[in-house]
A and B are shown apart, each in its own frame.
Chain A
Amino acid sequence: WPSLLFDLYPPPPQAKRMRALVAVKRVVDYAVKIRVKGDKSGVETAGVKMSMNPFCEIAVEEAVRLKEKKVVEEIVAVSIGPKQSADTLRTALAMGADRAVHINHDGILQPLAVAKLLKAVVDKESPDVVFVGKQAIDDDANQTGQMLAGLLGWPQGTFCSKLEIADKKATVEREVDGGIETVSMGLPAVITADLRLNDPRYATLPNIMKAKK
C-alpha cells in the first residue's frame, strides 16, 4: 500500500549540485633561489622548499569560493607526483577541498602525460568543471589545461581572471595580450586560473586538523 503511493507521488527531482575537480602541482617554492645541479642534469631539488604551485592555489581558492556560494557541492583535488605530493593535497584539503586523489609518480612529467592522467580522473569523477593553474612555475608550460580540454572535447576558459557560473554556463574573463576578453561556454569545461582571479586564503587551523586526518 504505502509503496504504491510512493510510486504515484515520486519525490521532486533535486537540482543537481556540481562537482569541481582541481588539479594541483607540487613545485619548487616561488621564493627559493633556483640552482642548477653540479652535473647540469637538472635543477637542485634535494632539501629545497617545495610548495603548491601559486596558480594552483588560485584554482583551489576559486573552487572553494564557488562551494561557499553553493554553486559547487564537492571539490576533489588531484595531484600527480611523488609521495610528498600528498602534502600538497593536504594543503588543498585545508583550504576547503573535500576529497583528494594522489597519482603516485616519481620523475619528470610532461603536460600531455599529465593531461591524459587527468582525463582518466575526469572519466571516473565526472566533474562539471575542472580547474587548473594556467601554468606551473617550474616549467612554465601553459599546456596541461588546454590539452586536457582537447582530449575531453570540452570547452576551455584559459587565463581566467574572473569567473561566473550560472545555469550550467560559465562566463570567463580572460587576460589576453590585447586586454580582457569575455567568453561564454557550456559546462562541463576546463578553466585555467590566472594571477588576478583571486587572493588565496590561508588555511585555518581547524581545517589543517581535518586535513591531517
Chain B
Amino acid sequence: MLREMCRSFADTELAPNAGKWDQEHTFPAEAVKAMGPMGLMGVSQPTEYGGSGMDVMSYAIAIEEISRGCAGTGVIMSANNSLYCDPLRMFGTPEQNEEWLTPFASGEKLGCFALSEPSTGSDAGAQTTVATVDGDHYVLNGTKNWITNGPQADGAVVFAMTDKTKKNKGISAFLVAKGTPGFSTGKPEDKLGIRASGTCSLIFENCRIPKSSLLGKEGEGFKIAMKTLDGGRIGIGAQALGIAQASLDAAAGYAHERKAFGAPIAKLQAIQFKLADMATKIEASRLLVWRAAQLKDAGEPYSKEAAMAKLHASEAATFCAHQAIQIFGGYGYVTDYPVERYYRDARITEIYEGTSEVQRLVIAGAILGEYK
C-alpha cells in the first residue's frame, strides 16, 4: 500500500514536473509541502515527535518510489529524514526533540545536515569550523559546503570543532535555526543534476547559539556524523535505485516502440543484453538496500551492508542511466526525453554521503575486522 501510494504520488505529481523543475532550477515547494501531511518527511520518526513511526524498510521503499519520479525530490526527502531527523531522534533530548524534531518530521519545516566544508569532504575529521564557548553560549565560525536543502532549511545539524587537540573526538554537533544572527547561506550551486534540490554553503560568522543547542555531548560529533551517515546510505542507495529503475522503465518501453532494421529494437540481442544487465544490477542493488534496512530494523550492525548498498546502487544508477541513453540513441541526448536527466541525476549518487571510495574503505574496514 505504501509503495502504491508513493508510486501514485510520484507518477502524478513528480514525474510530469521533474523535467521543468530540472530545467528551471526550481525547488518543488508545493510537492514538498504535500509530502509533509502524507508523512513522508519523517517516515521512521517516532509518532510522538511528528513522524510516521514506520520501519526502515518502508522508508527505503518510499524513497525509491519518490526518486523514480524526481530524484531531486528524493534527496530533499532523504536529507530531511536521514540526515536531519535521525541524529535528533538518536541523540536529542526530549526538549530538543519537541522543538527541533516534531515540526521537521511532520514536514512543517525542512532540515539539513552540515558536515562538509570547502576543504573537508571525505576527510571528515579535518573540521575547520570551530565552536568556542562564551558564557552560556557557543560561538560558531566557519563555512559548510554542498549542503542539501541549505537554501530552504529552517534548521541545520552543524558539526564544528570544540577541541582541536582531540582531533576526531574534538568535534561536536549543534542545532542552528535559520535567521540566527551570524548564520547566512551562500548562493545556490548550479549543479549538473538533482537541480530541483537546492544546495548551498552555510556561513557562520560569530554566530551565537545557546548551550542547549549542543546535540549529544561535546566530542560526540564525529560519532553522531558517522552513525547518521550509515542510515543516510540506505536513503541514498534507495534514491539511486529509483533513478536506475526509472532508466530501465524508460529504456524497456522505448525498445518496444523504436523500430530499426524492420523490427522493434527489443528484438535485437544487443539491446536485450543491455536491459538484462540493467535489470540484474537493479535487483542486486535493491536486495542490498533491503538487507541493510532489514538489519537496521532488527537493531543489528548494518554499516558494512549500508555501504555496500550505497556503493552498488549508485554505480548501478550510473550504469543504467548510461545504457538508457545508449538505447534511446539520439533521442536520449535531448531534453524531450527524461533519460538525459537520469544520467545527470545519477552521477552525484557516487559522490555524496560518502564517495564510492569512502564506501570501499568502510566495507574493507569491516571485512578486515572480521578476519582479525
Contact = CB atoms under 8 A, between A and B. Distances in A.
Given A87-B1, A90-B1, A211-B1, A205 B43 contact: yes
A208 B52 CA distance: 9
Interface string A197-213: 00000111110110110
A129 interface: no
Contacts of B34: 202
A144 interface: no
Interface string B36-77: 011110010001000011100010001000000000000000
A204 B5 CA distance: 8
Contacts of A91: 1, 4
Contacts of A204: 37-39, 52
A213 B230 CA distance: 30
- In this complex, the member of B39, B54, B58 whose beta carbon has the largest number of chain A beta carbons within 10 angstroms is B39
B9 A209 contact: no
Nearest to A212: B1
B39 A206 contact: yes
- In this complex, the member of B2, B5, B9 whose beta carbon has the largest number of chain A beta carbons within 10 angstroms is B5
Interface in B183-214: none
Contacts of A203: 1, 5, 38
Contact of B8 (A90, A202, A208): A202
Interface residues of B, number: 18
Interface in A16-52: 51
Interface class of chain B by DSSP: helix
Contacts of A212: 1
A202 B5 contact: yes
A40 to B, nearest CB: 24
Nearest to A211: B1
Contacts of A202: 5, 8-9, 34, 38
Contacts of A51: 4
Interface class of chain A by DSSP: helix
A87 B52 CA distance: 20
A208 B9 contact: no
B2 A208 contact: yes
A94 interface: yes
A203 B3 CA distance: 11
Contacts of B5: 94, 202-203, 208
Interface residues of A, number: 14
A202 B8 CA distance: 8
A209 B52 contact: yes
Nearest to A91: B1
Interface in B118-151: none
Contacts of B62: 205
Contacts of B54: 205, 209
A87 B3 CA distance: 13
Interface in A158-213: 202-206, 208-209, 211-212
A104 to B, nearest CB: 20
A205 B54 CA distance: 8
B53 A208 contact: no
- In this complex, the member of B52, B53, B62 whose beta carbon has the largest number of chain A beta carbons within 10 angstroms is B52
Contacts of B39: 204-206
B1 A206 contact: no
Contacts of B8: 202
Contacts of A211: 1
B40 to A, nearest CB: 7
B9 A205 contact: no
Nearest to B44: A205
A87 B58 CA distance: 17
Given A91-B1, A211-B1, A206 B43 contact: no
A186 to B, nearest CB: 36
A209 B1 CA distance: 10
A189 B1 CA distance: 31
Contacts of A209: 52-54
A90 B58 CA distance: 17
A205 B2 contact: yes
B32 to A, nearest CB: 14
B238 to A, nearest CB: 15
Nearest to B39: A205
Interface of B: 1-2, 4-5, 8-9, 34, 37-40, 43, 47, 52-54, 58, 62
19 contacts: A91-B1, A94-B1, A202-B38, A203-B1, A203-B5, A203-B38, A204-B38, A204-B39, A204-B52, A205-B38, A205-B40, A205-B54, A205-B58, A205-B62, A206-B53, A208-B1, A208-B5, A211-B1, A212-B1
4 shortest A-B CB distances, which residue pairs? A205-B39, A205-B52, A204-B39, A204-B38
Given A51-B4, A202-B34, 7 more contacts: A202-B5, A203-B5, A204-B37, A205-B40, A205-B52, A205-B62, A209-B52
Interface of A: 51, 87, 90-91, 94, 202-206, 208-209, 211-212
